Amino acid sequence: MRILEKPNEKIEEYYNTCISKVRGKQNRAKLGNYLEQILTAAKDYDLKASKHELFKFTNPQGIDGKALIKLYTNQVGKKNRPGRYLYNQLMELPVNTKCPFCGIGRVKELDHFLPKSVFESLSIVPFNLVPSCRDCNQDKKTDFPRVAREQTLHPYYDNTLDFQWLFARLIEKNTGIIEYYVDVKNIQSPQLASKVKEHFKSYDLYSIYRDSAAEELLGVREQHQNLLRDTNSLNLIKQLKKSESSFKAVYKNSWQVAMYEALAGSDWYTSGKAFS
């Protein structure tokens, strides 16, 4: 889970840009008449998202939802259309193209954080558009939170960088299995803590991270085994802690940090039993 800088595009200008090349004078005029509702929806969304209350968002009255979805599809989703530039800008937000929802996949599409099929007024509202990998976007589809506890982390609003809350333990089986868990006791805001837990469950990050760690563990196995053979447990622990701290310097809650921390804390691993 990563955070992204919230887009600061002027909604009114962006909306007018998007409708500027819509075919038919009447169609354009009709969409033009929705500007007030779009601005109201955007303001309401922004306020609710900042207070962990997006589950309370409702569409403003008096809009043709289908026309707004079509506006997104034709003027933002397609290449060389007037609203496309923002699509491209947002897709470039993530560092190293990493998906902000899982931190593993490559961003491939724009996700409507609250789905446009239900919240049509948010079809082209910039801070409802979040770059996502295909898996995260597909898994979510038209799902949205109906109550507070169903809310997941919003990459533009929810800052989870201050504390470590992702941890792992090493299961002493075969060559070792890294099992992840979330501990939110350091997160002061109960709403944010609840979102972290729900996020992990709903994006299935426990198994995604476990699988990534399994691959990494295989890759470093020989190196650790040799270090233990040539020196001793203390040096292996030192090496593991170095890996942990170097990943931690980039992002406290990466699966790598939790993995190396768990390995360093496991006697089974550092005494060499995992390699026999």
Catalog residues that contact Zn ion under the rule CB under 5 A.
Answer: 99, 101-102, 105, 133, 136
Rounded CA-CA distance 215/219 in Å is: 6
State the minimum distance, in angstroms, from the CB of residue 160 to Zn ion: 15
State the minimum distance, in angstroms, from the CB of residue 102 to Zn ion: 3
Between 68 and 133, CB nearer to Zn ion: 133
Between 14 and 200, CB nearer to Zn ion: 200
Distances from the Cα of 178 to the Cα of 98, 105, 213, 254, angstroms: 22, 20, 6, 13
Between 75 and 212, CB nearer to Zn ion: 212
Residues ≥6 apart with Cβ < 8 Å to 13: none
State the minimum distance, in angstroms, from the CB of residue 106 to Zn ion: 8
State whether residue 154 is helix, strand or coil. coil
CB 102 within 8 A of CB 208: yes
State the minimum distance, in angstroms, from the CB of residue 185 to Zn ion: 26
Between 102 and 258, CB nearer to Zn ion: 102
Output the 3-class SS for 195-209: HHHHHHHHCCHHHHH
Between 7 and 155, CB nearer to Zn ion: 155
- What are the tokens at 184? 């939110």
Nearest to 167 by CA among 269, 255, 36: 255
State the minimum distance, in angstroms, from the CB of residue 101 to Zn ion: 4
- Helices and strands (H and E) in the chain: how many: 11, 4
Instruction: Give the amino acid at 10.
Output: K
State the minimum distance, in angstroms, from the CB of residue 30 to Zn ion: 36
CB 183 within 8 A of CB 274: no
CB 189 within 8 A of CB 163: no
Q: Note the residue count of the chain.
A: 276
Task: Count how many Cα atoms sit within 13 Å of the Cα of residue 90 in the half-sphere of its side chain.
Answer: 29
Between 18 and 213, CB nearer to Zn ion: 213
Between 49 and 136, CB nearer to Zn ion: 136
State the minimum distance, in angstroms, from the CB of residue 132 to Zn ion: 6
